[in-house]
Amino acid sequence: MHETLKKIMPPPAKSSGMTNREFSLFSQFIESTCGIRMPDSKKLMLESRLQKRLKHLGIGTFQEYYDYLVSKQGLRDELVSMIDVVTTNKTDFFREAAHFTYLTESVLPRIPKIEQQNGIKVWSAGCSSGEEPYTLAMTLSEFARNNLGFRYSILATDICTEVLKSAHRGIYDEEKIAPIPQLLKKRYLLRSKDRSRCIVRVCPELRSKVTFRRLNFMDETFDVESPFRIIFCRNVIIYFDRETQEVLLNKFCRHLLPGGYLFLGHSETLNGLNVPLVQVNSTVYRKLA
């Protein structure tokens, strides 16, 4: 019966390419809902990624998909899936390694002992598939080994639900862990018993230090337990226009302790932005007291 139905039912209409008008509709919608700019140069990329959703839903045209997306049902059922396919998630363990050296040598030793013992709070904002918060956890755990009583917790957030699922599992291909120093691999990573799989998993003790949550930077307020001593938001604000960057960074500052630290990506700058931060190192900023 199933094969007969397949012969009778016409195949889903093949979608045509995305028109400039449709691209404009999607780019405006994406920027308004999650702040990500979609310049004309991103048209082919957006078309290719959204094609996956059209195919999955059996929708024949980009206009039909857009109409569904902005409907009440689409906003409820499809918006998160759309965001998942259009967001870029590029990250590595110990990416921009100088930041973790500065954290160990210049930031952590200056935190008052009473705060260290009560537990410092760190936020990895835009955590992607987890490499950054787990790198932070390794760095902070190493500091704790040499500083009795030091305690910490990490909040890791991202807008993409799929990468958050992956991050929570803490399982990575062996090629992904190449930047991790050998000593830290031995301490914090567990190899699969099936050596043919070539995967490792972050050890339970380290995973327990990180809480993963979905968060959209365009939300009016951030429902996070603050204040934080340290916020990492690296290679994220480059996707926003300058006005949105300023609004976003001031939101972060409201969740940052006076004297707390904000780490940005190597290509990001605060030049021309009205924020209560002063630069203390390359792409590292401290909130004014």
In the DSSP assignment, the letter for residue 71 is S
Element housing 141 (H / E) = helix 131-146
| Max CA separation in the chain (angstroms) | 74
| C-alpha to C-alpha distance for 271 and 273, rounded to whole angstroms | 6
Going by their DSSP bridges, the two strands 210-214 and 152-158 should be labelled as parallel
In the residue annotation, 158 being an active-site residue is answered as yes
Where are any strands of DSSP class E within the chain? 120-125, 152-158, 171-173, 189-191, 199-202, 210-214, 228-232, 256-263, 277-281, 284-287
How many whole angstroms separate alpha carbon 90 and alpha carbon 144? 29
Catalytic residue among 84, 158, 229, 286: 158
277-281 vs 284-287, strand pairing mode? antiparallel
Q: With 0-12 CB in 10 A as exposed, 13-18 as middle and 19+ as buried, what is 194?
A: exposed
Is 242 part of the annotated catalytic residue set?
no
Question: Catalytic site residues?
Answer: 49, 158
